[in-house]
Structure 1
């Protein structure tokens, strides 16, 4: 039996009142079982995902190795290897490319800047351990922080305008974020284990940065001598042909993998393990043709979040996140498994996710879209299939009231979200779908979805259209 709280029932009295059988609403139906037409349409849809993968331009490196130990590097856990690594990268690039090899050992380093045709290879039993002194991450570089451009701290591994670059191997990238370094800059956080400092706090940089972006201040003038914006771990910016494969990434200051305005990106076999604030696993922003596969995400924020810029800055660049395939990944702890937003002002389109397994008592949401009328953004052509979800709080979330809520003039829009062949073992709520009365959520279809146990149907608010085919909840057909 479907159990909905009184508060939720009152919310459902609008366009989505069909969710509790109160009023008939056009577009909210349980369709007949799948037909050959449904099957053909589904296969045609997923052919698009295969085509995206086929069109990703691949990296290719000469078979030349440049061990950092040949340039004075030492893996003794004490030596500063920043300059030896930089020298090895420069020599590799000058020779036409190859591998810069980090052998077994613990190699301390400051920021690493990759160059074209260089593969940074972190060998088995190697730990590339990054210093936590912020001054080491100067001089500032062009970067993007929560969807807004500025001149800020260098990411731990950074590349700007490079082509044919890689980070490979089975070693460890250690960011050394802890409750005493990097993470306390977050300030208030639900899991904060630090006293909140009113001065050493990201709000003192974040708020003026966002104000600058809204005022149209040129990016080169968005410079803060006193800066509390934590850098991301890996950020290829405006790059082409990028491979990140095999490594384990731990304890990032901020987001772990953050390709920005890049094309032909492959993230494969990477383990993202970081439980600090804003420890998103993989956040491609305004990228085109991205494959994320065979990865593990165990994070303090969203596992995978697809983004395209925040507010005026996202609209200034007007570059969507598009042609993305996520497959064969495992999601554990996190705010969301497969997420679109919240910095989504440039839009998102042609997003595919398949054959993933998600489960954790600390996984808040499986499929999540978050935006508002300040950020706006058109999200269209999103397909999810062959998903197994063990334990999760909410299964489907589309929230137009994220953070600022309905306080702007840029209406968010979701078109063509198609979910098929999903099994959910245990959830608290099936839905949190919250559209605006002036901009309802439409175009959601669920085919062959089995939710074995859920405590509540959840919230459906201003949902104008849903198509259900073979959907069951708690052992009974779900009829809206």
Structure 2
């Protein structure tokens, strides 16, 4: 399967007996149809500049960032257009997009982002794991811009590796870098989170010693965003992370990054988002819907809403379609359909993760026609994620529907853990088939579950 295209209708994942027929309609109900009609990718003037026309040359050790900035500025002044990265290997620092700019990565082009943290200063207004701060610039960043795009069939290479960016995670899996006593994200993260709890202004959340890795692509408070066609590899942190943005289209991209926190696509507190025809092969969640963490998420108070997911392929990752865990602003109106998931390294298929510190009102979440080949836990709703039950902000689930799900092989069909005082409610399960399940499901504190036609190992099942 070529990079930048998820031709799922013609492909069969390992462990799946047949592929799901793709569909691009959202005639689920009037609401889903209206969301689809509203989402429209931006268009750009028929005007372009190739960075090589300005003097940029390919080759390691040559930073072409100034040429990219020059092309963006010239086109923005002229009213917008396409900045072309032609075929070849180019190296740059951060790229900041302006309104009406399409950064086009041509087929055969590889745009490498140099892994030198000093290049990603001065700090910018950003969000890190759901908390706002002044931090390292994302590799590709746009702030309060309108009509921005990243397109093309080329490759974006983030430079994350066991020697660059990723060691700031600290101890992770079997990584040989260990747990550095100085260069470790927890020393910045813990202070940042306390600042948020203390309501320190975002402008004052600045760190001389900052070990919070930047996301790859982050449009922040933008309108009309398109990310299309590109292959995204080896991100320092999350790959595609639109924040507080409206009318976002992410389609035909290929995410290939297996470092720590290599989430594929994480819309945060966005409105009207389409994620379609994408391939996710990641070191963390494939798609994770987010809306801010704890006190900071409640301060911003912006849910992630009106999200459409269609015809995507999930390979390795912590979860396929995920809600959380930074979910304090809530989520509403999610429609996910016609996706394939399968890998020995896929931990969960459908996943909701939160706790009583993060809370979140999760309402009108809909999943249908999903097929999972091989997974550890197929459906997970967990109120005990990380901190457990030590807060005062109870999660609330309302109108969650999962229907027409087929799972070939799983360790467990369900892992659903609510609180004794706040059980999991508001869930409807219809026409779920699990062919081969090795272990019993984990069901704790679940109430008000509507269920129809659930089959596990060839037998009828009820929660």
Smaller-chain TM-score range? over 0.9
Aligned partner of 2:13 in structure 1 is none
Q: Which residue of 2 aligns with 1:372?
A: 355
Shift of 1:53: 1.3
Q: Aligned partners of 2:248, 2:172: CA distance in 1, in Å?
A: 32
Give distance in 1, aligned partners of 2:27 and 2:301.
29
Which residue of structure 2 aligns with residue 63 of structure 1?
A: 46
The within-5 A match list for 1:336-347 is 336-347=319-330
The question of 1:398 aligning with 2:387 is answered no
1:470 match: 453
Counterpart Cα distance in 1 of 2:27 and 2:75: 44
Matching residue within 396, 400, 403 for 1:413: 396
Say whether 1:209 aligns with 2:204.
no
The 5 A counterparts of 1:446-457 are 446-457=429-440
Structure showing greater relative contact order (alpha-carbon pairs closer than 8 Å, 6 or more residues apart)? 1
Inter-partner Cα distance in structure 1 for 2:248 and 2:364: 20
Deviates more, 1:190-199 or 1:122-131: 190-199
How many aligned residue pairs are there?
438
Which of the numbers 255, 262, 282 marks the counterpart of 2:238?
255
The SS at the match of 1:79 is: coil
Shift of 1:45: 4.2
Pick the aligned partner of 1:90 from 73, 80, 89.
73
Per the TM alignment, residue 466 of structure 1 is displaced from its structure 2 partner at its CA by 1.3
1:239 aligned partner: 222
- Aligned partners of 1:77 and 1:105 also within 8 Å: no
User: TM-score when scaled to structure 1?
Assistant: 0.90
C-alpha displacement of 1:78: 3.5
Residue 203 of structure 2 is matched in structure 1 by 220
Whole-angstrom distance in 1 between the partners of 2:45 and 2:88: 25
How far apart, CA to CA, are the structure 2 residues paired with 1:166 and 1:197? 37
Match of 2:417 among 434, 442, 448: 434
Q: CA deviation at 1:348?
A: 0.3
- CA RMSD in angstroms comes to 1.0
The separation in 1 between residues aligned to 2:155 and 2:213, in whole angstroms, is 20
Rg comparison, structure with higher value: 1
Give 1:47 deviation, angstroms: 4.1
User: Where do 5+ consecutive residues of structure 2 fail to align?
Assistant: 1-25
* Paired residues of 2:172 and 2:178 also in contact (CA < 8 A): no
Does residue 102 of the first structure (1) align with residue 85 of the second (2)? Answer: yes
By how many angstroms is 1:84 displaced? 0.3
Determine if contact 2:40/2:249 at 8 Å carries over to the other structure.
no
Q: Deviations over 1:52-91 (max 9, x none)?
A: 1111143010111111112221123332101000000001
Inter-partner Cα distance in structure 1 for 2:302 and 2:264: 21
Matched, 1:165 2:151: no
5 Å matches for 1:278-297?
A: 278-297=261-280
Using the size of structure 2 for normalisation, the TM-score is 0.93
Mean CA deviation greater in 243-252 or 445-454: 445-454
Report 1:277-356 matches (<5 A).
277-356=260-339
SS, match of residue 286 in structure 1: coil
Deviations 1:275-334, CA, capped at 9 Å, x for gaps = 000000000000000000000000000000000000000000000000000010000000
